[in-house]
Amino acid sequence: MAHAAADDHRVVVYYQTTNVNNSATDHISILGLLNSAPQIAVTHVLIAAVHIVDEPDGWIRLNDFPPDNPRFDAVWSDAAQLQAAGVAVTAMVGGAAQGSFQRLDGDDAQFERYYGHLHDFLAGYNLQGVDLDVEERMSLAGVVRLIDRLRADFGPAFVISLAPVGAALRKGGGNLSGFSYFDLEAQRGSAIDFYNAQFYFGWGSPRPRPTTRTLSTPASRPASTENGSGFVSLDVVANTLRDLTAQYPDFGGVAAWEYFNSVPGGKAAPWEWATWMAENMRGEQSPRRKLRASRSA
């Protein structure tokens, strides 16, 4: 059986589309990610998108549904199998739908009210970390408080990542989060495992001359032309990855939005994206995969 890859170059997959056409029963499995050999290519799977809401019948929503909705039974089963194989499974909180971080950014009483539900969700579903995708205004003090509490409650092995737009990791660049990531890094960089920098929708490129922190950070790109502007052909990505990993041995890796239709395999074999990226970061891409990439570009 293939074994899990080391995370010196991370291969991060966002997994939001869990059911075909949002059906209640037609599950899109992520277990294909376990097929690669001799080692599993993916290092982290981020289940998205989790939101904190004001609804007394359930304060946490996963893609507009309570996480215990039967439509997610196979998601949690798949997640447990990935974890058993050594893949870290975490939850992405926030994203384009706003409100979660506003609720976590109030006074102490408000914070405790909403954080408690997030804590119980993360613990109840045995999630190994959280990806904070802050695409709304949040104070620096608020995000520091949240990170401190997560680290205190879940311990040093719990993965804490954030998902700033790429420009936010450059001085004077654009930002969707409200706080400065440079200030956050200065105050709590030691508590943050990595950033999944978003290099699409016009928010920058991982080249040229990435910052030191960007090098330790997976560079996030659309995994298909259907997933947003900024898609780059796999041939171009392959050359960029080879250049970056050769010049910077501590290059963090690559993240994809999102799993279900990732090229080169597309909807029929979306797990091939992870293998493709891992091979190119090791400089091992096969002729068969090169041919497929040319057809998919």
What pLDDT, in 10s, does the model give residues 29-71?
Answer: 999 999 876 789 999 999 999 999 998 778 999 999 999 999 9
Q: Residue 68: which residues within 8 A CB-CB, separation 6 or more?
A: none
Residue pair 151/196 in contact (Cβ under 8 Å)? The answer is no
Choice between 157 and 290, residue whose per-residue pLDDT is larger: 157
Q: What gap in Å lies between CA 55 and CA 79, rounded to an integer?
A: 26
Domain count, the chain: 1
In the predicted model, is pLDDT for residue 84 greater than 90? yes
Confidence at residue 297, expressed as pLDDT on a 0 to 100 scale: 38
The whole domain housing 251 covers 3-296
DSSP-derived 3-state class of residue 193: coil
Residue pair 28/260 in contact (Cβ under 8 Å)? The answer is yes
Q: Of all helices (H) and strands (E), which one includes residue 122? A: helix 108-124
Confidence at residue 6, expressed as pLDDT on a 0 to 100 scale: 64
Of the candidate ranges 2-6, 117-121, 151-155, the one whose mean pLDDT is the lowest:
2-6
Residue pair 115/150 in contact (Cβ under 8 Å)? The answer is no
Which amino acid appears at position 112 of this protein?
Answer: E
Confidence at residue 119, expressed as pLDDT on a 0 to 100 scale: 98
Confidence at residue 142, expressed as pLDDT on a 0 to 100 scale: 98
Q: What is the mean pLDDT of the chain?
A: 86
Confidence at residue 292, expressed as pLDDT on a 0 to 100 scale: 46
In the predicted model, is pLDDT for residue 230 greater than 80? no
Give the pLDDT confidence of 4-34 residue by residue, as tens digits.
Answer: 776 678 999 999 999 998 888 899 999 999 9
Q: What gap in Å lies between CA 33 and CA 50, rounded to an integer?
A: 22
Binned at pLDDT 50, 70 and 90, residue 211 comes out as very low
Long-range contacts of 287-290 (CB under 8 A, 24+ apart): 289/264, 290/235, 290/238
Residue pair 38/2 in contact (Cβ under 8 Å)? The answer is yes
Q: What gap in Å lies between CA 190 and CA 217, rounded to an integer?
A: 14
Q: What gap in Å lies between CA 157 and CA 97, rounded to an integer?
A: 28
Binned at pLDDT 50, 70 and 90, residue 95 comes out as very high
Binned at pLDDT 50, 70 and 90, residue 284 comes out as low
pLDDT above 70 coverage of the chain, percent: 83
Q: How many CB atoms lie within 10 A of CB 3?
A: 11
What value does the mean pLDDT take over residues 267-287? 84
Task: Output the domain CATH number for residue 221.
Answer: 3.20.20.80
Residue 5's nearest CA partner among 113, 72, 85 is: 85
In the predicted model, is pLDDT for residue 103 greater than 80? yes
Binned at pLDDT 50, 70 and 90, residue 85 comes out as very high
Q: Residue 248: which residues within 8 A CB-CB, separation 6 or more?
A: 210, 215
Confidence at residue 215, expressed as pLDDT on a 0 to 100 scale: 40
Choice between 89 and 282, residue whose per-residue pLDDT is larger: 89
Q: Label the pairing between strands 159-162 and 88-94.
A: unpaired
What value does the mean pLDDT take over residues 121-145? 98
Residue 168's nearest CA partner among 140, 144, 198, 209 is: 198
In the predicted model, is pLDDT for residue 208 greater than 50? no
Lookup result for tokens 């979306």: 270
> What are the structure tokens assigned to 244, written together?
């970056």
Binned at pLDDT 50, 70 and 90, residue 232 comes out as confident
In the predicted model, is pLDDT for residue 156 greater than 50? yes
DSSP-derived 3-state class of residue 254: strand
Binned at pLDDT 50, 70 and 90, residue 109 comes out as very high
